[in-house]
A and B are shown apart, each in its own frame.
Chain A
Amino acid sequence: MSASLTKAGFWRFLAAVGSSGPPGSRALHVTAAHCKNRAARVRVGKGDRPVTYEQALKPHDIGHRKGWLSQHTGNLKGEDGAADRTVEDAFVRRLMFGTFHGCLANEVVIKRRANLLTVCVVALQKLPPQKFYFLIGYAESLLSHFYKCPVKIDVQTLREKQVYKYL
């Protein structure tokens, strides 16, 4: 047997040494780095966690089974303004999340058409309608003052979140 040890072999040796102690003793468990993809993915669990369609599908399904949450022309070839749109989107999403706190059933969809900014929200019926109308008007006027463009908020309400799967 050659005396040289590879890196993985060294760790395996250590692990073997660590685990071969008397029962009840602590062992050394090591594995090589396994950088799994974690972006926009809900980890699989016991099967009791309800998950919507948007959350259940992975990012590689965008364009195939999923739609786009933010629609603008910044990311097309030969078009400008992608970074500005992304920052605006992040701000709008936080504002919506805070204004309709606990009432959002799904992610906010943002559409831009010429100067007009349309924010599409699916909400739960947790508040009385008058409060909803006030929040919609408040958010619309704030956003239109910030971004100096007409802002429309489309709201649809549901009784409860639509569950696609249990993970």
Chain B
Amino acid sequence: MAASLTIRKEFCSLARILSGIPYSAPRVLGHCAGDKKWITIRCPFHSSTVFSSTLSPITVTEEPDTLFQKVTVLVKGHDRAVLDSYEYFATMAAKELGISIGKVFEPPKDMERFTLLKSVHIFKKHRVQYEMRTHYRCIELSHLTGSTARVYLEYIQRNLPESVAMQVTKTAMEKIPEHIHEPMWKDEPTEEAHKPGQ
């Protein structure tokens, strides 16, 4: 494995040098003829990239994964139809990945209105009104691990449509710290026993 790796690395450096000087290629790779020399120059590139992608590691750490009680994804947009299709896509992705979906609902839309003068100069009585509508969609997912949440959110975010924004709220669960486990009043008899000693 290591030997083949070193051979491939040499090929890569060769290929990099040769790509700058194409006319010298036939001399070095004399046994290859015609188009094959280009293929053999390209293969090391491709195989090196393939190698690097397979070598991109899956990290295994000792720390336990964060647990999320609830992950809320709030999507905002101007177009309700776009949000409908995005919600269908997100819920289908969650189902395929086996993530339990809490509830999917639509908060009421927000309309930002303002009134401006219609004319450039005078005519105060004639105005124009504009409004900007923001529609929302909320997807709540429950009981996820940190890595699942990261993968799902990255997938969702890479496929976010053009005029749509997203806000994510995560509710994490932590272990109760040990000094809170036992109530304080249980320690009192031992303290009273210590006091006369002091």
A and B from one assembly?
yes
Question: Measuring CB to CB, which residues of chain A are less than 8 angstroms from any residue of chain B?
Answer: 33, 35, 37, 39, 63, 68, 71-73, 75-79, 111-114, 118
Decide: A76 near B77, CB < 8 A? Known: A35-B119, A113-B162. Answer: yes
Verify A77–B128 contact, CB threshold 8 A: no
B76 interface contact, C-beta 8 A: yes
B56 interface contact, C-beta 8 A: no
- Among the listed A72, A77, A112, A113, which residue makes an inter-chain contact with B110, where contact means beta carbons less than 8 Å apart? A77
Beyond A33-B126, A79-B165, 9 additional pairs, beta carbon < 8 A: A35-B126, A39-B128, A71-B162, A71-B163, A72-B163, A73-B165, A75-B132, A76-B77, A76-B134
Verify A68–B112 contact, CB threshold 8 A: no
Verify A76–B165 contact, CB threshold 8 A: yes
Verify A75–B78 contact, CB threshold 8 A: yes
Q: Which residues of A contact B126 (CB under 8 A)?
A: 33, 35
Q: Which residues of A contact B128 (CB under 8 A)?
A: 37, 39
B123 interface contact, C-beta 8 A: yes
Measured in the bound complex, the distance between the Cα atoms of B119 and A35 in whole Å is 8
Chain B positions 104 through 127: 1 when the CB is less than 8 Å from some CB of chain A, otherwise 0 = 000000101000001100010010
B79 interface contact, C-beta 8 A: yes
Q: Which residues of B contact A71 (CB under 8 A)?
A: 162-163
- Among the listed A35, A73, A118, which residue makes an inter-chain contact with B164, where contact means beta carbons less than 8 Å apart? A73
> What are 9 residue pairs bridging A and B, where the CB atoms are less than 8 Å apart in the complex?
A37-B128, A63-B79, A68-B78, A68-B79, A73-B163, A76-B78, A77-B76, A78-B76, A79-B165
- In the assembled complex, how far is the CB of residue A140 from the closest CB belonging to chain B, in whole angstroms? 18
Closest 4 CB pairs of A and B: A71-B163, A35-B126, A71-B162, A73-B165
Q: Which residues of A contact B165 (CB under 8 A)?
A: 73, 76, 79
Question: Measuring CB to CB, which residues of chain B are less than 8 angstroms from any residue of chain A?
Answer: 76-79, 110, 112, 118-119, 123, 126, 128, 132-134, 160-165
Q: Which residues of B contact A112 (CB under 8 A)?
A: 162
Chain A residue nearest in CB terms to B128 = A37
Most chain A CB within a 10 A radius of its CB, from B78, B79, B118, B133 = B78
- In the assembled complex, how far is the CB of residue B75 from the closest CB belonging to chain A, in whole angstroms? 10
Verify B118–A35 contact, CB threshold 8 A: yes
Chain B residue nearest in CB terms to A62 = B78
Measured in the bound complex, the distance between the Cα atoms of B91 and A103 in whole Å is 43
Measured in the bound complex, the distance between the Cα atoms of B110 and A35 in whole Å is 30
Chain A residue nearest in CB terms to B163 = A71
- Among the listed A37, A39, A77, A113, which residue makes an inter-chain contact with B160, where contact means beta carbons less than 8 Å apart? A113
Verify A33–B76 contact, CB threshold 8 A: no
Q: Which residues of A contact B119 (CB under 8 A)?
A: 35
Q: Which residues of B contact A73 (CB under 8 A)?
A: 76, 163-165
Verify B163–A35 contact, CB threshold 8 A: no
Measured in the bound complex, the distance between the Cα atoms of B76 and A76 in whole Å is 7
Measured in the bound complex, the distance between the Cα atoms of B163 and A112 in whole Å is 7
- In the assembled complex, how far is the CB of residue A152 from the closest CB belonging to chain B, in whole angstroms? 12
Measured in the bound complex, the distance between the Cα atoms of B161 and A118 in whole Å is 12
Most chain B CB within a 10 A radius of its CB, from A37, A76, A78, A113 = A76
Measured in the bound complex, the distance between the Cα atoms of B119 and A118 in whole Å is 34
Measured in the bound complex, the distance between the Cα atoms of B76 and A118 in whole Å is 21
